[in-house]
Structure 1
């Protein structure tokens, strides 16, 4: 093997993937041995008995029946000529890893060995020129191309259509993972689209910068994936959603690259940038993003607050959004999620634990119903003076809405736990439970109605499928006009977990639409949310989207069927 070939081989081997059957990496799992309140809490809310220690799932890859690849030798040889033999994978494991995302539906099916259609091969391009050659080959040979980032999508944006008869190429962008350049005068960074969150932050931080984009999937998702699904990060109050962060793009299309310059603003017709953001791979392959980056803040702090009710917490978040304060995070959990958070906490030590133990007594003395209280996390970043000023403004608003500060301890817990929650879902599935999420956004005037109607819809759905279920939610991602509400639901499933999930998921999504909220705030559409698109953006809106896809990709080469269904 030549030095060049060895470098390529090492590069492909360095591309990181999650385990085929669940979230994250092998050897990392949720356990509750150090969380004494968790098992009793789960038993109480959904009736599921949890065992101690790390549970053996019993899943073995060799037990899967993987459909054979239909890629012909001509296609394989052509791709090998473009990227090299080491960068074309046809083995079953690689193909299965690239079949699904990580929604509860995906995990139910993969655990059951359901593989209706699997990519026929996986290709790892090393640069944009190779992506261009692959795209041109796909158009000429009538192949399907599905771009693949970290594989964390939970709305069915990655899976091949079951009835697809053409050869399907999963285009893994993991080798395009570098920060190419930073314009330090403008705070604009040219970044390859395949870089996963931690790797990009490491490169940026080394030069004193941050992207400021930290979605729950941060550790296993990519910049290109964030753009393709209109992602939003936990610190969007300060840094904006990915649509705000994305200033320029390079997108490989048949015969050439769609290049969008990074300028502060432009009046150049309908926004091509906005067309690409959220397009889920249907308009081409995103290879590079010019992103707005920020200097690393001098100070960063997450403080916790308590409110006596959900109403008080929502009112405080609205007041903060309307004020001169500029926090990086504004989040408040409803009473159900607050109880869950406390149940997943580890015991503290010393005086801090004594204060925690006394807190319910102190709150009851103030007239609070501790079962209704709501936990909030508010983040502050910037120079010391800015942080102090913002904390003071927020403190006045919290007090005016009957809330109280409870310090930095729970804030540190928030930082520790925020990227680990998906592992808990796998653990819950190991014990016969099903859990997933739905998120939306609505104006401030509608948030309380959205929340109450979602709860009612979910509980009615639990009754219909005959289970003891649980729903909880929080507000995150505040805007001047409204905010995102994020719901988690769980139940002990029966023999047909997917059918039960459909009943609950449909009820929650329809409640969003019926209350004037959107079908999704930041997870995207994929296949999962298509049934509500015409109600959300109007039938004419769907027709305009479909017209764009048909015109830009008449051969339906790029991730067909996503967003609009055709």
Structure 2
């Protein structure tokens, strides 16, 4: 297998960056859309040009073997993968760098690290694949801390046990998506959880951020696939009981799911597996009227058919990523047990009832036991484009473009007003910051009571100011989300970037209860301070 090099400043692997003909074609497409954009390319500065201060803290001798003070390593752990992270790296502006990167290989070492940091008042930022797009892993820490440690769990990456009877697995939290599937595949299982960041994100990261995955309906979040958790906190270890369901009071798992390492470090989880799917159906349905497509998706979400893929791209999103002149619905079904033809046929009937048309017949494929099938058609063209989006984002960011996304969820009755409010807020903010651009929208997940709209901004920015321009746009659209009764995030988490609007969204009494819980679990307030909830000041 060809070894690839992980980029220290941008998305993914350096060998997979957008270059050559792909970059030229991308630039031409943007020029057609925004003819006044200055697409002069800029390169990332050499990592050696960053002045990384010496570490302010020294680890105990017993931890020395798992600690890194390497400047490149520390820089790579100083940021996530949001647009603003990438651009700041390109500009050589990474002001918050951890003092140390610590890679524990066992739960005992995690405990040792938390004990040391609690005693020495060192902030600890749990780090999985580092794919956060909300400032969740950035050591942007307020308070009187003697230093900051990035706790990288990727050395804890094994499937420890498989329960074939209950179809579940005990997995260490540091495992990245591909390695998890590699370990499950020989047993005939899959987690079937494929976020866009799948290749570079970890199970622990998915759990800590309540990530959204592959399925557009039914099993949409990692919550749905979680049977129990094991969490190390500065006050002790929390182990929840393995159960298919329980009505015994508030769930301990629900406390830690979405806590983003602010309450404890997830070290292991029992997760619910699925048999690898053998039968698939895929279709692309065009809608000349986007609103009709919205109504068709609502009918599908309320039909009980539970498609695995139900992504509606508005005309601009479809043009940019699927080269389609109309709105497009990417529809799919899959099963490890039964033929899916009747489900697809009924779904297409619903689409036709709302004016949907098919440029090509639906594709039905039977796969081998490994789950591999031939690919092709519009849906798979979109899939390839979807996986290339972060690389393309980086290329355009280096050419002065503002290219970023934000996602939410709302009830169906509020969607039209939300879409209009977001578009107005984004366009007004772009005018205010002197950027010309477009707003796109697609559905990534849909529920019987509402969709999860995923908006995109493509704007011609001013090189050197695009982070500030984006921050103004982001603030404006975030205010619109909250004002319209939507959530600040459907699956990207809170981190530090969403805190102002999450604080508005959550009830005040719940915030107080969460802060009290943090005080019990993390008395010194060292765990990811500033993400999700602020620690109470320790009593001197």
Q: Provide the TM-score with structure 2 as the length reference.
A: 0.91
Which of 158, 171, 174 is the matching residue for 2:137?
158
Q: Which residue of 2 aligns with 1:195?
A: 175
SS at match of 2:84: helix
Q: Which residue of 1 aligns with 2:455?
A: 487
1:466 aligns with 2:434: yes
Q: Which residue of 1 aligns with 2:355?
A: 402
Gap change, CA 1:433 and 1:255, over 3 Å in 2? same
Q: Which residue of 2 aligns with 1:245?
A: 225
1:528 aligns with 2:507: no
Counterpart-to-counterpart distance in 2, 1:27 and 1:56:
18
1:123 aligns with 2:102: yes
Which of 382, 388, 392 is the matching residue for 1:424?
392
SS at match of 2:21: coil
Counterpart-to-counterpart distance in 1, 2:5 and 2:269:
22
Gap change, CA 1:31 and 1:49, over 3 Å in 2? farther
Deviates more, 1:179-188 or 1:543-552: 543-552
Tell whether the 8 Å contact from 1:145 to 1:170 is kept in structure 2 after alignment.
yes
Which of 287, 300, 303 is the matching residue for 2:280?
300
Gap change, CA 1:26 and 1:40, over 3 Å in 2? closer
Q: Which residue of 1 aligns with 2:368?
A: none
* Structure 2 residues not aligned, in runs of 5+: 364-376, 536-540
Per-residue CA deviations over 1:319-378 (Å, capped at 9, x if unaligned) read 1111131211111011110111235xxxxxxxxxxxxxxxx9xxxxxxxxx4xx201111
CA apart distance, 1:298:
1.2
CA apart distance, 1:202:
1.5
Gap change, CA 1:17 and 1:276, over 3 Å in 2? farther
Which of 84, 94, 111 is the matching residue for 1:132?
111
Structure 1 segment 112-511 matched on structure 2, within 5 A? 112-163=91-142, 165-254=145-234, 256-343=236-323, 370=325, 373-383=326-336, 385-407=338-360, 408=363, 409-494=377-462, 495-511=464-480
Q: Which residue of 1 aligns with 2:81?
A: 102
Q: Which residue of 1 aligns with 2:517?
A: 548
CA apart distance, 1:565:
4.3
CA apart distance, 1:391:
0.3
CA apart distance, 1:37:
6.4
Q: Provide the TM-score with structure 1 as the length reference.
A: 0.87
CA apart distance, 1:243:
0.9
Counterpart-to-counterpart distance in 2, 1:240 and 1:58:
36
CA apart distance, 1:42:
0.8
Greater helix share, structure number: 1
Counterpart-to-counterpart distance in 2, 1:420 and 1:109:
21
Counterpart-to-counterpart distance in 1, 2:255 and 2:153:
21
CA apart distance, 1:33:
2.3
Which of 467, 473, 487 is the matching residue for 1:518?
487
Counterpart-to-counterpart distance in 2, 1:198 and 1:111:
28
Q: Which residue of 1 aligns with 2:526?
A: 557
Q: Which residue of 2 aligns with 1:33?
A: 21
* Structure 1 residues not aligned, in runs of 5+: 1-13, 344-359, 361-369
CA apart distance, 1:173:
0.6
SS at match of 2:111: helix
Per-residue CA deviations over 1:103-123 (Å, capped at 9, x if unaligned) read 112122222222323111111
Tell whether the 8 Å contact from 1:66 to 1:115 is kept in structure 2 after alignment.
no
Gap change, CA 1:253 and 1:534, over 3 Å in 2? closer
Q: What is the root-mean-square deviation of aligned Cα atoms in Å?
A: 2.1
Tell whether the 8 Å contact from 1:17 to 1:150 is kept in structure 2 after alignment.
no
SS at match of 1:158: coil
Counterpart-to-counterpart distance in 2, 1:133 and 1:76:
9
Counterpart-to-counterpart distance in 2, 1:385 and 1:173:
39
Which of 17, 31, 47 is the matching residue for 1:61?
47
CA apart distance, 1:249:
0.4
SS at match of 1:441: coil
Deviates more, 1:35-44 or 1:100-109: 35-44
Counterpart-to-counterpart distance in 2, 1:138 and 1:17:
31
SS at match of 2:444: strand
Tell whether the 8 Å contact from 1:453 to 1:511 is kept in structure 2 after alignment.
yes
Q: Which residue of 2 aligns with 1:9?
A: none
Counterpart-to-counterpart distance in 1, 2:284 and 2:24:
22
Counterpart-to-counterpart distance in 2, 1:196 and 1:405:
37
